[in-house]
Structure 1
Amino acid sequence: MGRVIKYEGGAMDTATTEKLKAFVRGEMTWSEVEGMTFAEAKAIAQVGCDLAAAGRYEEARILFEGLVEGNPKDSASRAALGTVYQKLGRLEEAIAEYSAALERDPSNPVALVNRGELYLRQGNRQGFTDIANASEADPNGETSAGRRAKALVKAIALVAAEKMKAEQAQARA
Structure 2
Amino acid sequence: MKVLYDKPVVLKKPVHKVLENLLATVNGEKAVEEYQKMKKDTANYYIDWLAMDQLGNQLYDLKRYEDARVIFENNAAEFPQRDLALFDLAKTYEVLGRKEDAVTWYKKVLVLNPGYEEAKNRLKGLESSK
TM exceeding 0.5: yes
The alpha-carbon distance between structure 1 residues 35 and 120, as it changes in their structure 2 partners (threshold 3 A), is closer
Larger CA Rg, structure 1 vs 2: 1
Q: Deviations over 1:82-115 (max 9, x none)?
A: 1111011121221121112112211322222222
Preserved contact between residue 75 and residue 100 of structure 1 (Cα < 8 Å) = no
Q: Mapping of 1:1-80 within 5 angstroms? A: 13=7, 33-34=10-11, 65=20, 70-71=45-46, 73-80=47-54
2:69–2:89 Cα contact (<8 Å) kept: yes
Higher RCO structure, 1 or 2 (CA under 8 Å, sep 6+): 2
- Taking a change above 3 Å as real, the CA distance of residues 35 and 81 of structure 1, as seen in their structure-2 partners, is closer
* Counterpart-to-counterpart distance in 2, 1:95 and 1:138: 22
Is the aligned partner of 1:151 residue 2:125?
no
Identity %: 18
Unaligned runs of 5+ in 1: 5-11, 17-32, 42-60, 142-146, 161-173
Task: List gaps (5 residues or longer) in structure 2.
Answer: 22-34, 39-44
TM-score (normalised: structure 2):
0.61
TM-score (norm 1): 0.48
Maintained 8 Å contact 2:107/2:123 = yes
Q: Separation in 2 of the partners of 1:156 and 1:65?
A: 32
Matches of residues 85-96 of structure 1 in structure 2 within 5 Å?
85-96=59-70
2:96 matched to which residue of 1? 122
Give the ranges of 4+ consecutive aligned residues of structure 1 lying more than 4 Å apart after TM superposition.
61-64
Residues of 2 paired with 1:64 and 1:148: CA distance?
28
Q: How many residues align?
A: 105
